[in-house]
């Protein structure tokens, strides 16, 4: 399998409302760093890694042709369009199609020479129509199958599209399948209503990879998962991936989206990082790439101090350093879910690596130093 080391950074929160007012809040007590790195991420990668070592950032559709795009083009050459390739945007209900965002990103990639990851077309972030309580398994199956077939056909011939997170957030932290809930205003997974096979595997997961195998042979296919380092959840993920592979379905990578919080132990803790390390090893031992498809680090409260920003910086950097330590064993990628603090504090919780005015926080410098030095020395603060 061809090896790539892709570090992917996302430039926006999950909100796509471009009309919200922004609140600019910077580090109130910055620590000057005489060794601060001024080079761009993409230059660091170009100077210190081979040509297969990629580095990028996610853009929101509404940020194309904006100052956020300017920052992206300065720093990165690889992007994950935020939610633009998902069912809820492209094919929300029967007879309704909207390729506007998909085509805008494909055009952007081709004209600017940018590589793309397609993120999470099938998962809990589904349309209101799909969540309605009167939907039948037949209706749901027909909608998502025709959507995924057309999406795969659309992207397979695009040379700049390299990866697709085929299914997303299929298993809860408890190890149970994510499932439907009553109403349409909750985080839920309506696709499980389609049913399971005799081995208990949801049919929508099997069918999604069957479709991707047939209609997207040129794209690397990822099984993407959320939550933290819960062993019961990851055991179920591993079992499901091996089951699908044993059935002859191609799965090229395992993805993790980690939404970290400063008051929840993970990326500053040795035990949790050791578990992440073992998870990456499992992926590589089973001929799978390992992708961190989303990551952010939320701070607590409304007035973070330099200590808070320092913890955030090392929390981000520890994840990157763990990946660096595994790069010789197989593909590893990193994708931070949002780079700058957009909109209200309650929306962004100071969790991204640039502030509201697109100025770098301490996390940017720690990440750049880790990349430039190929550092694998972790900082345990929890």
Q: Which of 114, 118, 18 is nearest to 67 (CA)?
A: 18
Range 173-178 contact pairs with CB under 8 angstroms and sequence separation of 24 or more: 173/227, 173/228, 173/230, 173/232, 173/233, 174/230, 174/232, 174/233, 175/230, 175/232, 175/233, 175/235, 175/236, 177/202, 178/124
Residue 268 has pLDDT above 70, yes or no: yes
Let me know: does 215 contact 149? Beta carbons within 8 Å.
yes
Residue 25 counted as domain residue: no
Residue 180, Ramachandran bin (φ over 0: left; ψ between -120 and 50: alpha; else beta): beta
Tell me if residue 187 falls in helix, strand or coil. coil
Residue 381 counted as domain residue: no
Q: What is the DSSP string of 1-25?
A: ----EEEEEE-S-S---TTSPP---
Helix axes 362-373, 306-324, angle to 10 degrees: 30
Q: What percent of the chain shows pLDDT beyond 90?
A: 74
Let me know: does 165 contact 118? Beta carbons within 8 Å.
yes
Q: What is the DSSP string of 125-143?
A: S--HHHH-TT--HHHHHHH
pLDDT tens sequence across 310-348: 999 999 999 999 999 998 999 988 888 877 888 889 889
Element (H, E) at 281: helix 270-285
Residue 27 counted as domain residue: no
pLDDT for 363: 95
Residue 319 counted as domain residue: yes
Residue 18 counted as domain residue: no
pLDDT for 347: 85
**Selected residue with higher pLDDT from 223 and 38:** 223
Tell me if residue 163 falls in helix, strand or coil. strand
User: Residue 223's pLDDT band (boundaries 50, 70, 90)?
Assistant: very high
pLDDT for 55: 76
pLDDT for 13: 40
Q: Tell me the average pLDDT across 359-376.
A: 96
Let me know: does 189 contact 203? Beta carbons within 8 Å.
no
Tell me if residue 257 falls in helix, strand or coil. strand
| Lowest-pLDDT range of 43-52, 95-104, 191-200 | 43-52
**Selected residue with higher pLDDT from 202 and 48:** 202
User: Residue 105's pLDDT band (boundaries 50, 70, 90)?
Assistant: very high
Domain of 140: which CATH number?
3.20.20.80
Q: Which of 68, 5, 64 is nearest to 341 (CA)?
A: 68
Residue 30 counted as domain residue: no
Element (H, E) at 175: none
Spatial separation of the C-alpha atoms in residues 265 and 45, rounded to whole Å: 30
Spatial separation of the C-alpha atoms in residues 287 and 46, rounded to whole Å: 26
Q: Tell me the average pLDDT across 151-176.
A: 97
144 Cβ neighbours under 8 A, 6+ residues apart: 87, 122, 130, 191, 204, 208
Q: What is the DSSP letter of 40?
A: -
Spatial separation of the C-alpha atoms in residues 282 and 253, rounded to whole Å: 11
pLDDT tens sequence across 14-69: 443 333 333 333 444 445 455 567 899 889 978 887 766 677 788 889 999 999 89
Structure tokens at 147: 């959507």
Domain that holds residue 111: 5-11+37-373
pLDDT tens sequence across 275-290: 999 999 999 999 999 9
Residue 21 counted as domain residue: no
Spatial separation of the C-alpha atoms in residues 251 and 166, rounded to whole Å: 9
Q: Is the pTM of this model over 0.75?
A: yes
Q: What's the residue count for the chain? A: 382
Residue 22 counted as domain residue: no
| Count of domains for the chain | 1
Let me know: does 317 contact 366? Beta carbons within 8 Å.
yes
pLDDT for 312: 97
């Amino acid at each position: 399998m061809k090896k790539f080391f892709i570090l992917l950074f996302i430039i926006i929160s999950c909100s796509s409302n471009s009309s919200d007012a922004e609140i600019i809040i910077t580090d109130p007590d910055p620590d000057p760093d005489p060794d601060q790195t001024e080079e761009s991420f993409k230059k660091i990668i170009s100077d210190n890694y081979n040509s297969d070592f990629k580095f990028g950032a996610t853009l929101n559709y509404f940020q194309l042709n904006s100052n956020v795009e300017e920052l992206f083009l300065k720093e990165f050459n690889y992007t994950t369009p935020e939610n633009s390739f998902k069912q809820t945007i492209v094919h929300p209900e029967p007879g309704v199609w909207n390729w506007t965002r998909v085509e805008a990103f494909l055009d952007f990639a081709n004209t600017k020479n940018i590589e793309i990851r397609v993120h999470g077309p099938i998962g809990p972030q589904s349309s209101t129509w799909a969540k309605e309580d009167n939907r039948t398994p037949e209706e749901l199956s027909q909608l998502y199958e025709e959507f995924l077939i057309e999406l795969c056909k659309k992207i397979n011939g695009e040379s700049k599209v390299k990866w697709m997170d085929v299914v997303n957030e299929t298993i809860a932290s408890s190890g149970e399948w994510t499932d439907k809930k009553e109403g349409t205003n909750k985080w839920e997974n309506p696709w499980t209503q389609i049913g399971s096979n005799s081995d208990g595997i949801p049919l929508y997961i099997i069918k999604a990879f069957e479709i991707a195998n047939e209609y997207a042979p040129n794209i690397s296919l990822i099984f993407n998962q959320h939550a933290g380092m819960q062993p019961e959840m990851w055991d179920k993920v591993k079992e499901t991936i091996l089951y699908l592979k044993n059935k002859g379905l191609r799965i090229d990578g395992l993805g993790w989206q980690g939404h970290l919080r400063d008051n929840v132990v993970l990326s500053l803790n040795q035990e949790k990082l050791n578990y992440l390390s073992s998870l990456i090893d499992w992926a590589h031992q089973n001929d799978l790439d390992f992708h961190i498809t989303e990551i952010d680090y939320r701070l607590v409260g409304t007035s973070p101090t330099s200590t808070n920003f320092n913890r955030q910086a090392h929390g981000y950097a520890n994840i990157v350093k763990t990946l660096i330590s595994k790069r010789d064993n197989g593909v590893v990628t990193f994708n931070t879910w949002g780079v700058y603090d957009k909109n209200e504090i309650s929306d962004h919780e100071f969790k991204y690596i640039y502030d509201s005015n697109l100025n770098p926080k301490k996390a940017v410098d720690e990440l750049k130093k880790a990349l430039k030095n190929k550092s694998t020395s972790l900082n345990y603060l929890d």
